[in-house]
Chains A and B, each alone.
Chain A
Amino acid sequence: MSELRFTVEHEWLRAESDGSVTVGITEFAQQALGDVVYVQLPELRAYAVGAEVSVVESVKAASSINMPLAGTVLEANLLLAEAPERANEAPLGEGWFFRFRPDDASAMADLLDQAAYDQLIANQG
């Protein structure tokens, strides 16, 4: 398991050993969203960077999950369709959203590392 990378939209990314990247939402994001009641999962296809791949409906509102890097979605976490609350309970574990193959794996390095992300949320908190 490699270290996590982050986006300013509060997604985390983890490079897997097979070259794919797993994406989820951060602890900060799940707290801000409130209770998640529905997750519209991505389709298994190519998306441009920034494209809306998923929608999270909380008790309060709907929020988009946008593609952190250009790539092709390989797998969506079907558990979230049945148990959307896992996104609140285990955002870094069972509540992951999807796994994709980035067009350019080196682009991961441009995303925030843990220290930079911690700084970001410290400023937002």
Chain B
Amino acid sequence: MVEVLKHTPLHALHLELGARMVPFAGYEMPVQYPLGVMKEHLHTRAQAGLFDVSHMGQVRLRGPQAAAALETLVPVDIVELPVGLQRYALFTGEQGGILDDLMVARLADDELLLVVNAACKDADLAHLQAHLAGQCGIEALFESRALLALQGPAAAAVLQRLAPQVGSMTFMQVATVVLGGQPCYVSRSGYSGEDGFEISLPASEAEAFARRLLAEPEVAMVGLGARDSLRLEAGLCLYGHDMGADTTPVEANLAWAISKVRRQGGAREGGFPGAQVIFDQQRSGAERKRVGLLPQERTPVREGAEITDAQGHVVGHVCSGGFGPTLGGPVAMGYVAAHLSAVGTPLYATVRGKQVPLLVAKMPFVTPRYHRG
């Protein structure tokens, strides 16, 4: 069976720029441009990278009950999320596993914008419709809106030339900004560990706007390859690799994302799927944990590699791994038995039958440069 891959609104531009296209989550996406993964990564950390992330799913929830309704699916404070802010959230399952991770932006008192993973967006939409129908309006913007990310230390200077008001935004703030005559939702956030913005705009405007940004001298197009190495150095999870339906937020080291008011003893305690499982784990500890791993040799240690202790007993596995261009060496994340999760613990990964020494390391690996104001 031949899978028909979908295109984002920037598909023609990617081809024109010489991108190498690969299938990703049902889309044909640029993994790299002629610059190459390494230079695209370093360019993002030095200046500004432009990413097409239009494959991700945008969903609008509308209505006076939208925030309260969404809280029944995520362990996050949405009701008191101020207009003009966004928050990281997780859809949890009945067993406490993570169905997806997402950003929730409060555009207005009665309006939320969700950004979910491309591979999960159809399931997420069905999940929202199954649980929230009748409580709020649910509008999938999958075809109608594009999403661009402009990331890097020059991102703010560049975007301010087009929209001066974005300069005063701080990390995780959201604003409706008119760009090229069209209302766009701009958030100061991203997936690279750098300062930057994500810009949701009408699909019909995406190519012209991308070209406008690429005309700025600091901006280069960056593909999914460097997006992955950037987020890995920043210690950020990739859904389906670093967490999924079989991992809880506690195991995934994402318990920080559970808002205080939704925790045990909080004012709006629980009330999301799997709350009891998650609370039990928060009390008594999970058996395994996601940790950062720094291989002590030059060979990259990749997803799926077994992790062993000094005696050769399997104690976990690598969930993401590769080469960190900014670190100048290999970098990984993995799940290990909780008693081996302390920073500095020596472990081994099995690579082509050989034991590569690892150290459990603090994340992020590269200091984030979010603009907290």
A residues within 8 Å of B by Cβ? Answer: 34-35, 37-38, 40, 55, 57, 59-62, 81, 84
Contacts and interface: CB of A to CB of B under 8 A. Distances in A.
B300 A57 contact: yes
B111 to A, nearest CB: 40
Interface in B195-243: 225, 229
Contacts of B325: 35, 59
B38 A59 contact: yes
Interface residues of B, number: 17
Contacts of A40: 299, 352
Contacts of B352: 40, 55, 62
Interface of B: 31-32, 36-39, 225, 229, 298-300, 302, 322-323, 325, 330, 352
Contacts of B302: 61-62
Contacts of A57: 299-300, 323
B299 A59 contact: no
A34 B300 contact: no
Nearest to B299: A38
A2 to B, nearest CB: 32
A110 B32 CA distance: 36
B323 A37 contact: yes
Given A59-B322, A59-B323, A60-B225, A35 B300 contact: no
Contacts of B36: 34-35, 59
Given A37-B323, A38-B323, 12 more contacts: A35-B36, A35-B325, A37-B38, A37-B330, A38-B298, A38-B330, A40-B352, A59-B37, A59-B229, A59-B325, A61-B302, A81-B298
A17 to B, nearest CB: 34
B321 to A, nearest CB: 11
A85 B67 CA distance: 51
A38 B229 CA distance: 16
B32 A34 contact: yes
20 contacts: A34-B32, A34-B38, A35-B323, A35-B325, A37-B298, A37-B300, A37-B323, A37-B330, A38-B299, A38-B330, A40-B299, A40-B352, A55-B352, A57-B299, A59-B325, A60-B31, A60-B37, A60-B225, A62-B302, A84-B298
